Amino acid sequence: MSRRYGNRPRSPRPFAMDCRDIYLMGICGTGMAGLAGLLRQKGYNVRGSDSQAYPPMSELLKGLRIPVQLGYGEENLSTMPDLVIIGNVIRRDNPEAVYVLREKIPYMSFPQALSHFFLCERTPLVVAGTHGKTTTSSLLVSALAGTGEDPGFMIGGVLNAYDSGFHLGNPPWFVLEGDEYDTAFFDKQPKFIYYMPKAAILTSIEFDHADIYQDLDAVKAAFVRFVEIIPQDGLIVACADWPAVRDVLRYARCRVVTYGESKDLDYYFKSYRTDDIGTEFDFKTQNGTQLHAAIRLPGRHNALNALGVAALLMELGFNPQEVLHGLSLCPGVKRRQEVRGIEAGVTVIDDFAHHPTAVKETLRALKEKYRDRRIIAVFEPRTNTSRRAVFQHAYPEAFLDADMVMVREVPDPEKAPPGDRFSSKRLVEDLRALKIDAALFPDAKAIVEALLPLCRKGDVVAVLSNGAFEDIHDRLLGALKNKDLLCKSCATILDGGAH
């Protein structure tokens, strides 16, 4: 391996370079399903297993004709594959993992496989940071397309422009969402260590993933490792509004370009405006040129994401106007301020936000986009971090832009250690202390039942969860549609009676 990328850990077990049959454990995860799709596009025989399968990944795998076994068992491996790729949801005591280790079947982690099969022959552009990775990656793909490139990508979300989170594309560029979460049960390094970045965008650094990082210093240490592996002839474009980002940048060996809102940065935006179409903003470049940009996505945070992309590509030598044109065409990512439907005049939005900062920025953007409309936030604390008490005091202020907040009880609270568990009840109490209308519910069914009589024409219901949330979006839209049809039917009857 070339020293320019540093020393990367090798595969735990060697395997034949001509392997054809590849098995993925945890195949229905967003990243693993995308990897399965890339491997299929490259001509490999792919199959796998998972504990459960639900849209959109189940539909993706079905469309690709990739067989999926529901439930884990060594019998799934009776036809022995050439290679097993083990997702980070798999525990050491998983029966398939036990079988793989016992039978000495060659195995790899997700990021190791991605690096081995795809990145060695490409120029990786990695988007890393606590917040905004998925959206920024989608903007980067769109901006590159605007310049005439066809980048490959692997992103932890479904890009609306491609209806997919992966694309093989054509050389040289490959865009990756650089996740700081750990790699696998046999490898506790951050995933992004394997991605060999030639250039990177660093959006933010804040404490997160409380299940694997003890504190902010531990998170920063992971990002120090990330910036250190970027070669001397590489590039980091970083949002230096974040103090922790500035701390980490001191360890970079390559050229660093900064962006953000502060006027002491290389690229900074002067103003922005969000409306029902998107966001426009003006920014200054490193050479003092002022440019105007427009994107379809709402909010200050997305203006910053787009600015980071513009800075990266301009510094790599791309034409600024082509870059800005590509940014303007980006339709975003599913589950990021995604309008799931409008019924009875009520707009139902799905968003992945779960960290307090993400919740705050999402609601702020929606408030700016839907001026003079009531914002109803529906929150499910189900991530490994939000189940813990670490952000108990931070969450109330994250909801200040909501007119009403409905909070679900923490699902599977036993997944957090005793004495370190988030309290949905306390969040509701704290929100009420801030004069915010808030209520607690046991599940999605109860929330829909409570929302139905409360919703009125013009309301915006923002569902904030990183999971399926018991299909609450479609449940609410269906209930609103039935309510609207019933009201129209009653109005027709009454109108007829009046005549």
Domains of the chain: 3-110 (3.40.50.720), 122-328 (3.40.1190.10), 338-486 (3.90.190.20)
- Averaged pLDDT, 75-96: 95
Instruction: Provide the pLDDT for residue 495.
Output: 61
Helix (H, G, I), strand (E, B) or coil at 27: coil
Instruction: Provide the pLDDT for residue 110.
Output: 95
Instruction: Provide the pLDDT for residue 498.
Output: 47
**pLDDT at residue 1 greater than cutoff 50:** no
Q: How far is it, in rounded angstroms, from Cα 173 to Cα 477?
A: 40
Asked if 188 and 182 count as a contact pair (C-beta separation under 8 A), the reply is: yes
Task: Name the pLDDT band for 494 (thresholds 50, 70, 90).
Answer: low
- Averaged pLDDT, 443-465: 94
Instruction: Provide the pLDDT for residue 172.
Output: 97
Structural element, H or E, at residue 125: strand 123-128
**pLDDT at residue 491 greater than cutoff 70:** no
pLDDT digits (tens, 9 = 90+) for 201-251: 999 999 888 888 889 999 999 999 999 999 999 999 999 999 999 999 999
What are the angstrom distances between the C-alpha of 252 and each of 303, 440, 449? 25, 46, 53
**CA dihedral over 287, 293, 298, 299, signed as positive or negative:** positive
Instruction: Provide the pLDDT for residue 221.
Output: 95
Task: Name the pLDDT band for 14 (thresholds 50, 70, 90).
Answer: very low
Paired tokens of 488 = 């129209």
Distance from the Cα of residue 63 to its chain's centroid = 23
Instruction: Provide the pLDDT for residue 485.
Output: 62
| Out of 63-67, 280-284, 385-389, least confident range | 385-389
- Averaged pLDDT, 336-348: 91
Percent of the chain with pLDDT strictly greater than 70: 93
**pLDDT at residue 461 greater than cutoff 60:** yes
Instruction: Provide the pLDDT for residue 333.
Output: 85
pLDDT digits (tens, 9 = 90+) for 95-110: 999 999 999 999 999 9
Instruction: Provide the pLDDT for residue 497.
Output: 53
Instruction: Provide the pLDDT for residue 44.
Output: 95
pTM of the model: 0.87
Instruction: Provide the pLDDT for residue 449.
Output: 94
**pLDDT at residue 89 greater than cutoff 60:** yes
Mean pLDDT in the chain?
Answer: 90
Q: How far is it, in rounded angstroms, from Cα 32 to Cα 38?
A: 10
**pLDDT at residue 489 greater than cutoff 60:** no
